[in-house]
């Protein structure tokens, strides 16, 4: 049945950004996400991996800001704080009406994804992220359920005693932060607090977020480390202005529908998590981690939900979750090593639904317990017969169990209780050949899976619970080239993905989405990244992808996968003029092709190109440090769609992006 209840705390995040950057002259190591889970040079990895180091200045309130510019990763900024950032990698996650699906998320080795594969980044203190590692392709499948890609956040550890305070403002937003770091020879401690408020981009889109993070790192022995962390976040109000139809968007993208005011559409979220991890990076590395948390959500939807068979127009959810994971690396033979490990994770959801009586809570319409339990075991093998050749492969087994208990069975409302088990396997193999010191070629293949989430099991297209949903499976192949020297770094990847039983959003209406399996889809894509240090003053970056993703059979045959851009290009220039006062100027451009809104490609968000600019400066005076920055986003005030709601039955599928926005900020730090 359902197991243990672990405890307490581990991990941290560290520092800020306007847009992600990979420095061509920085050491590149694949540490957490890589197939080997051990330090490995980027050029030797048999996988498509990118690492970004967020900048230390900016008004940061959306994880899409951190993730723009990574090839193959489509980060949709909804400009709606009641809806989480929508992420898609090579088509995985594109169906999600809220939250993040199809992508495995973790922070300092602690999962941010639930056992059912659903995750979110809204509660993460983004300003404390030091680096972001993104793994794509077949070797990502070794991370289990819904691992179409892996996004791993690494926290910043303070390197000296520091007290810092900062303030940032724009036409809509304001944010304040305080950060304390204390360091001695064997340990470091960090406490960060942040408050964010906004009036929003449209009427009825105000939001507020309060966050706190405590992090303690202790060196117990020469190779043994203890990491303890506590995260707390509270969003007292996140108003939802609702999505627009294409005609409404054309007429006025800044409008808010009357239903948002009538039903007072809004979300309140509170989350806390404690975690602890023990890591040894000696001759036989191992890691063990435990975590426990709680997430409370109260959300009002734009309809009453008064029918006895409805689930209500106001959602109340209390999620308790906990987990344990561990891994151990050992040498099996000369030039062969292995990592073996496993995890056990559980979520317990207490879910209620009430009538939304025009912004007031009405009668009960839903009362359920939803449980998800996931037990995984894996092995990853690495064989390096020579300095130039590196083989990597692995296998993972997953036992995922869902239990739904329905307590609301009044009148015509049926008992929607039920259970479903999924027993799945994933495996992959890859080889990397380092042709010379600057150039490497790799190829990999694998098979993975993605089970339905609890939210996808909740509603059937025919009514009632949706336990007939099967897990989708995918077969992936990838090959590519990597090249780097002291000034440049570039990669090119070609991949194909064939999926059976693809899970799609069949119908989405009034905040409630039902899902179904379709038989087959196929994807063929090309990704590229190029980072060039032209001189000490100039640095440029170019990344992008081309993706052909379509249904293969049935009524949808030859139609493009909705929610997925066929092409996306991101470029960035940075200039540091030779001045007495340190200064850095940044210019960014981003292009995205049209994005279809439904399975039959009946409408699409038009293609768009927009530009951002920024300037920052930093001065040092004895133990004081001063940082100032100024940014102008969407310079031309381009009207474009930030994200689409896939298969929206009422036609309101467009979520407008923000217009032109000027922002500024200052940070004052004292170090001792």
476 contacts 138 by C-beta, under 8 angstroms: yes
| Token pair in block for residue 345 | 């994770």
Predicted pLDDT at 512: 66
Predicted pLDDT at 284: 85
Q: How far apart are CA 126 and CA 15, in angstroms?
A: 7
Question: HSE-up of 526 (CA within 13 Å, CB side)?
Answer: 4
Residues 6 or more apart whose CB falls under 8 angstroms from that of 185 comprise: none
Helix (H) / strand (E) element for 65: namely helix 63-67
Q: Is residue 17 part of a domain?
A: no
Strands 207-219 and 187-198, by their bridges, are antiparallel
The dihedrals phi and psi of 251, each to the nearest 5 degrees, come to -70, -45
Domain with residue 546: its CATH number is 2.40.170.20
Q: Is residue 220 part of a domain?
A: yes
Q: Is residue 24 part of a domain?
A: no
Q: How far apart are CA 35 and CA 392, in angstroms?
A: 7
Least Cα distance to 30 among 16, 44, 17, 19 occurs for: 44
Predicted pLDDT at 39: 34
Predicted pLDDT at 35: 33
Residues 6 or more apart whose CB falls under 8 angstroms from that of 544 comprise: 71, 527, 528, 567, 568, 569, 570, 591
Q: Is residue 411 part of a domain?
A: yes
Predicted pLDDT at 247: 96
589-601: per-residue pLDDT in tens? 999 999 999 999 9
Q: Is residue 459 part of a domain?
A: yes
Predicted pLDDT at 63: 87
Predicted pLDDT at 57: 66
Predicted pLDDT at 401: 97
Q: Is residue 335 part of a domain?
A: yes
Residue for token pair 């972001």: 132
**What b-and-e string marks burial along 147-175, b requiring 16 or more CB atoms within 10 Å of the CB?**
bbbbbbbbbbbbeebbebebebebebbbb
Q: Is residue 12 part of a domain?
A: no
Q: How far apart are CA 53 and CA 68, in angstroms?
A: 12
Predicted pLDDT at 580: 77
Sites in the chain below the pLDDT cut of 70: 1-40, 56-57, 463, 508-512
Domain of residue 395, residue span: 29-671
| Token pair in block for residue 161 | 């005693």
Predicted pLDDT at 511: 53
Say how many domains are in the chain.
Answer: 1
Work out the widest C-alpha separation in the chain, in whole angstroms: 77
| Terminal-residue alpha carbon distance, the chain | 53
Q: How far apart are CA 171 and CA 658, in angstroms?
A: 12
| Token pair in block for residue 96 | 């999600």
162-178: per-residue pLDDT in tens? 999 999 999 999 999 99
Q: Is residue 1 part of a domain?
A: no
- Identify the burial level of 1 via C-beta atoms within 10 angstroms of its C-beta, where 0-12 means exposed, 13-18 middle and 19 or more buried: exposed
CA angle 280, 281, 285 (to 5 degrees): 75
38 contacts 29 by C-beta, under 8 angstroms: no
């Amino acid at each position: 049945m359902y197991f243990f209840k672990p405890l307490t705390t581990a991990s941290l995040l560290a520092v800020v950004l306007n847009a992600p950057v990979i420095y061509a002259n920085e050491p590149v190591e694949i540490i957490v996400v890589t197939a080997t889970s051990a330090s490995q040079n980027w050029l030797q990895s048999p996988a498509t991996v990118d690492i970004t180091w967020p900048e230390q200045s900016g008004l940061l309130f959306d994880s899409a800001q951190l993730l723009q510019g990574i090839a193959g990763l489509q980060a949709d900024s909804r400009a709606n704080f009641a809806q989480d950032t929508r992420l898609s990698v090579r088509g995985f996650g594109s169906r999600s009406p809220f939250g993040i699906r199809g992508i495995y998320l973790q922070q300092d080795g602690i999962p941010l994804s639930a056992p059912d594969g659903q995750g979110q980044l809204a509660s993460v203190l983004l300003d404390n992220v030091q680096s972001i590692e993104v793994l794509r392709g077949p070797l990502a499948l070794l991370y289990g359920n819904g691992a179409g890609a892996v996004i791993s956040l690494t926290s910043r550890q303070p390197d000296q005693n520091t007290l810092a305070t900062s303030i940032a403002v724009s036409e809509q937003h304001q944010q304040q932060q305080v950060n304390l770091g204390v360091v001695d020879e064997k340990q470091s401690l960090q406490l960060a607090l942040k408050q964010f408020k906004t009036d929003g981009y449209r009427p009825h889109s105000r939001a507020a977020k309060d966050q706190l993070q405590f992090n303690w790192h202790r060196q117990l022995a020469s190779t043994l480390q203890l990491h303890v962390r506590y995260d707390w976040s509270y969003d007292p109000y996140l108003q939802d202005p609702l999505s627009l139809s294409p005609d409404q968007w054309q007429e006025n993208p800044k409008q808010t529908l009357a239903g948002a005011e009538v039903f007072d559409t809004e979300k309140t979220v509170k989350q806390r998590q404690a975690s602890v991890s023990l890591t040894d990076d000696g001759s036989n590395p191992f890691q063990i981690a435990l975590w426990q948390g709680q997430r409370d959500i109260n959300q009002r939807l734009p309809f009453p939900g008064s029918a006895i068979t409805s689930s209500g127009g106001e959602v109340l959810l209390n999620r308790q979750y906990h987990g344990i994971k561990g891994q151990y690396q050992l040498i099996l033979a000369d030039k062969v090593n292995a990592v073996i490990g496993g995890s056990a994770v559980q979520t317990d959801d207490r879910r209620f639904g009430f009538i939304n009586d025009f912004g007031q809570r009405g009668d009960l319409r839903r009362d359920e317990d939803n449980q998800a339990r996931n037990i995984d075991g894996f092995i990853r093998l690495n064989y390096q017969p020579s300095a130039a050749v590196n083989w990597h492969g692995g296998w993972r087994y997953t036992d995922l169990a869902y239990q739904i208990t329905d307590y609301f069975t009044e009148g015509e409302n049926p008992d929607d209780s039920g259970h479903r088990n999924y027993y799945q396997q994933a495996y992959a193999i890859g080889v990397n050949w380092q042709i010379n010191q600057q150039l490497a070629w790799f190829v990999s293949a694998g098979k993975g899976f993605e089970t339905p989430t609890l939210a996808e099991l909740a509603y059937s297209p025919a009514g009632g619970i949706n336990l007939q949903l099967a897990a989708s499976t995918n077969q992936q192949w990838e090959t590519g080239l990597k090249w780097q020297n002291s000034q440049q770094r570039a990669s090119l990847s070609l991949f194909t993905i064939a999926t059976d039983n693809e899970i799609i959003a069949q119908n989405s209406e009034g905040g409630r989405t039902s899902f179904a399996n379709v038989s087959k889809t196929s994807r063929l894509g090309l990704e590229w990244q190029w980072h060039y240090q032209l001189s000490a003053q100039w640095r440029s970056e170019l990344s992008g992808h081309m993706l052909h993703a379509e249904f293969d059979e049935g009524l949808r045959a030859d139609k493009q996968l909705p929610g997925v851009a066929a092409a996306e290009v991101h470029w960035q220039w940075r200039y540091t003029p030779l001045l007495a006062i340190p200064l850095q100027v940044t210019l960014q451009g981003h292009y995205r092709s049209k994005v279809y809104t439904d399975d039959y490609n009946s409408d699409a968000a038009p293609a768009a190109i927009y530009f951002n600019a920024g300037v920052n400066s930093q001065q040092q005076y004895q133990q004081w440090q001063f940082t100032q920055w100024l940014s102008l986003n969407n310079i031309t005030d381009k009207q474009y769609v930030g994200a689409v709601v896939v298969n929206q039955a009422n036609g309101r599928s467009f979520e407008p992006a923000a217009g032109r926005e000027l922002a500024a900020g200052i940070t004052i730090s004292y170090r001792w």
